[in-house]
Amino acid sequence: MKLKYLILSVLLFPCQFGFAQTTRLSSFDELMQSLNSGERVRVVIEYGLCQWAPSENKQTPTPKAVTGMDIDTYEYFSVGAVHNKNAFVVFSNSKLIQNPIGKGFVFNYGKVRINDDNTVQVTAKYIHPRNHKELMSEVFVGKLNDGHNNEGINIFK
């Protein structure tokens, strides 16, 4: 009986490490290859390493905050599909959270658009859960982190 457990342990031990490892995706092409082959992909956004979008017209530094989300539903648009110069993928998510800047709860809505030149636009909104009033809206821009460039958009599989 002990031999049986020893053999199972030896066979299953390497699997624990194989499933736990993450791999950085450093380009739009790597991201699309992973998404289109059905792999689980996650984005981690370090806002402090991004910039405010020009439309925000803010002079303050971007917040030292981090968020993450799984990419489950996404849409890909090739060049010219919607009169766009670059191919891009876009995905979003919304979760009910405790309001970190006020009372009660809010829907935390995040939308990420990644272009084929590795530039990224992130939209973050807080939406009131009953009346759907927009309580906060911010737009950030950045680039994919390739593991060497210290950019704020990290993609892992």
Stretch (H or E) spanning 113: strand 105-115
Q: What pLDDT was estimated at residue 71?
A: 98
Q: Give me the torsion for CA of 50, 149, 22, 91, rounded to 10°.
A: 40
Stretch (H or E) spanning 36: helix 28-36
Mean predicted lDDT score pLDDT of the chain: 91
Confidence of residue 8 (pLDDT cuts 50, 70, 90): very low
Predicted TM-score (pTM) of this structure:
0.85
